[in-house]
């Protein structure tokens, strides 16, 4: 795979590490980052050697402070800037990954940053993390899934409060609302995330992927349909284990 400019991609011991790498501008998401992530996520999706994915941000100040507003200002209009972003469904690709994806979140986690984190399966935050959706204040709304993923994660009222008022959650509030799984000190962030990744690696990978599928696909189904899905996945896992 080519070298990337806005993202670092490394594969180590069955773990894919993706690092958003524009630290001077708080890792804001631009068109080039969109294209590079699209290429990387597509490769990970089909790579049976990758069993867990870790997503993090470079630098001290931010996981990602949102969309690159300088691109909004240079585009003929904000609508065209948005249109360009939709040409590649990075968010759909994130959500379709069969492997568990863990986000390591520090500093500013705003706009596209929180939306990317919401596409991950587990979110671990450091104490300095701040979470927000500033879009409505800019006259737009989130368009990388947050109007759907945020209320499903923190509940309708908290999601609306964040959108209507731009209220940023600190790490403790994020933990209380269920936005993040754990809060740790900054120096423990990556060790904690890597520890979780290693724990997942120690389990049967088909069982891990089936559990992810059952829960993530099941949330879009009725309870009865979800139970059917669980039954199908459980019996196919059982038959695989009987033959191995």
Interface residue list for ligand COA (CB under 6 A): 25-26, 28, 65-70, 108, 110-111, 134-135, 138
Task: Closer to ligand COA by CB, 167 or 198: give it.
Answer: 167
Q: Least distance in Å: CB of 142 to ligand COA?
A: 8
By beta-carbon proximity to ligand COA, the closer residue of 115 and 230 is 115
The single residue listed with the structure tokens 């997503």 is 55
> What token pair was written down for 56?
């993090």
DSSP state of 167: P
Catalytic residue among 5, 10, 49, 135: 135
Cβ-Cβ contacts under 8 Å for 85 (sequence gap 6 or more): 31, 34, 67, 143, 144
172 included as an active-site residue:
no
Half-sphere exposure of 194 (CA within 13 A, CB side): 9
**How is residue 220 written in tokens?**
């879009």
CB 164 → ligand COA: shortest distance, Å?
16
Q: Which residue is nearest to ligand COA (CB)?
A: 66
Q: Return the number of the residue (33 or 196) whose C-beta is nearest ligand COA.
A: 33
Q: Which is nearest to 16 in space by CA: 120, 115, 90?
A: 120
Active site residue 135: yes
Residues labelled as active-site residues: 115, 135
């Amino acid at each position: 795979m080519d070298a990337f400019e806005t993202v670092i991609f490394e594969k180590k011991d069955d773990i894919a590490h993706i690092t958003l790498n524009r630290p001077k501008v708080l890792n804001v998401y631009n068109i080039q980052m969109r294209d590079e992530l699209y290429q990387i996520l597509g490769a990970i999706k089909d790579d049976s050697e990758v069993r867990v994915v870790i997503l993090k941000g470079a630098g001290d100040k931010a996981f990602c402070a949102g969309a690159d507003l300088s691109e909004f200002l240079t585009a003929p209009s904000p609508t065209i800037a948005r249109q360009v972003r939709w040409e590649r469904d990075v968010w759909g690709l994130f959500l379709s990954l069969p492997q568990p994806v863990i986000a390591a979140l520090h500093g500013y986690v705003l706009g596209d940053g929180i939306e990317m984190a919401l596409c991950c399966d587990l979110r671990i935050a450091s104490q300095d993390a701040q979470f927000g959706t500033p879009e409505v204040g800019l006259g737009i709304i989130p368009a990388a899934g947050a109007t759907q993923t945020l209320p499903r994660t923190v509940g309708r009222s908290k999601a609306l409060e964040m959108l209507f008022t731009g209220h940023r959650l600190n790490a403790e509030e994020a933990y209380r609302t269920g936005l993040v799984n754990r809060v740790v000190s900054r120096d423990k962030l990556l060790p904690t995330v890597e520890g979780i990744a290693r724990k997942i690696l120690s389990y049967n990978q088909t069982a891990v992927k089936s559990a992810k599928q059952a829960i993530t696909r099941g949330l879009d189904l009725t309870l009865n349909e979800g139970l059917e899905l669980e039954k199908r996945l459980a019996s196919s896992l059982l038959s695989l284990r009987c033959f191995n």
